[in-house]
A and B are shown apart, each in its own frame.
Chain A
Amino acid sequence: DVVMTQTPVSLSVSLGGQVSISCRSSQSLVHNNGNTYLSWYLQKPGQSPQLLIYKVSNRFSGISDRFSGSGSGTDFTLKISRVEPDDLGVYYCGQGTQYPWTFGGGTKLELK
């Protein structure tokens, strides 16, 4: 199985600040069709995860441009700028390139 490793496990940020979350995969996430199926999710307390970014850098409908995704191969990053209170929660990366699809362990974003 593809192992997804997220760092850091937790992160403290001031409102209005910027943070980066890293996600590394144990194998390349480039699919045979040329696409890279790496997604980012935010799970707020008591809620289901919500999709933020798909295929590395594409923002899902309605997602603020304060969220941006980048990377390639096995190394990916989610950046959040001008952090707002509604951004707090646990962030997960996930891959849909190789079965079984797998997720990272999560990064908890908290207020400093």
Chain B
Amino acid sequence: QVQLQQSGAELAKPGSSVKISCKASGYTFTSYYISWIKQTTGQGLEYIGYINTGSGGTNYNEKFKGKATLTVDKSSSTAFMQLSSLTPDDSAVYYCARYNSGYAYWGQGTLVTVSS
């Protein structure tokens, strides 16, 4: 069955970076884009961007340009999102999700906490 397994929770200091992984299984990795979504209590669900897992091409929400960098390793069927120059506003749960007319499959979420 389709699974997206994300890396564990991160505690990071302001100004630092974190890299979250999303390992896919149960389907042909390069056949579907992987999107990343941020969830906070105040802002709800926000689309960060997607990566074309075949070509590596990306689409970013303007709000997250310069903040998030999406990459992929086809050899391990894993997508990555690096968040840089972290501030407390980046504290959230981050999800990867496979999109096909809707976000049909989601990872379990990765909690990122930014605190000094």
B35: nearest residue on chain A (CB-CB)?
A101
In the complex, the answer to whether B103 meets A94 with C-beta atoms within 8 Å is: yes
B43: nearest residue on chain A (CB-CB)?
A105
A40 to B100, CA, bound (A): 13
In the complex, the answer to whether B61 meets A51 with C-beta atoms within 8 Å is: no
* Residue in contact with B106 in the complex, picked from A49, A94, A103, A106, CB distance below 8 Å: A49
B96: nearest residue on chain A (CB-CB)?
A48
Q: How many residues of A contact B (CB 8 A)?
A: 24
In the complex, the answer to whether B99 meets A96 with C-beta atoms within 8 Å is: yes
Segment at the interface with A among B44-52, B66-74, B80-88: B44-52
Asked whether A51 and B102 contact (CB < 8 A) given A99-B59, A100-B62, A100-B63, the answer is yes
Asked whether A103 and B47 contact (CB < 8 A) given A48-B95, A48-B107, A48-B108, the answer is yes
A61 to B99, CA, bound (A): 14
In the complex, the answer to whether B45 meets A55 with C-beta atoms within 8 Å is: no
* Residue in contact with B101 in the complex, picked from A37, A100, A104, CB distance below 8 Å: A37
Minimum distance in angstroms from B91 CB to a CB of chain A: 18
In the complex, the answer to whether A51 meets B44 with C-beta atoms within 8 Å is: no
Which A residues lie within 8 Å of B108 (CB)?
A: 48
Interface 1/0s, chain A 31-50, versus B by CB < 8 A?
A: 00001010101000000111
Interface 1/0s, chain A 55-93, versus B by CB < 8 A?
A: 100101000000000000000000000000000000010
Minimum distance in angstroms from A71 CB to a CB of chain B: 15
Minimum distance in angstroms from A78 CB to a CB of chain B: 13
Asked whether A48 and B109 contact (CB < 8 A) given A96-B99, A103-B46, the answer is yes
Identify 12 residue pairs between A and B in the complex whose beta-carbon atoms are under 8 Å apart, listed by A's number. A35-B101, A39-B101, A51-B104, A54-B102, A55-B102, A94-B102, A99-B59, A100-B61, A103-B46, A104-B44, A106-B44, A106-B45
Binding site for B on A (CB under 8 A): 35, 37, 39, 41, 48-51, 53-55, 58, 60, 92, 94, 96, 99-106
Binding site for A on B (CB under 8 A): 35, 44-47, 59, 61-63, 95, 99, 101-104, 106-109
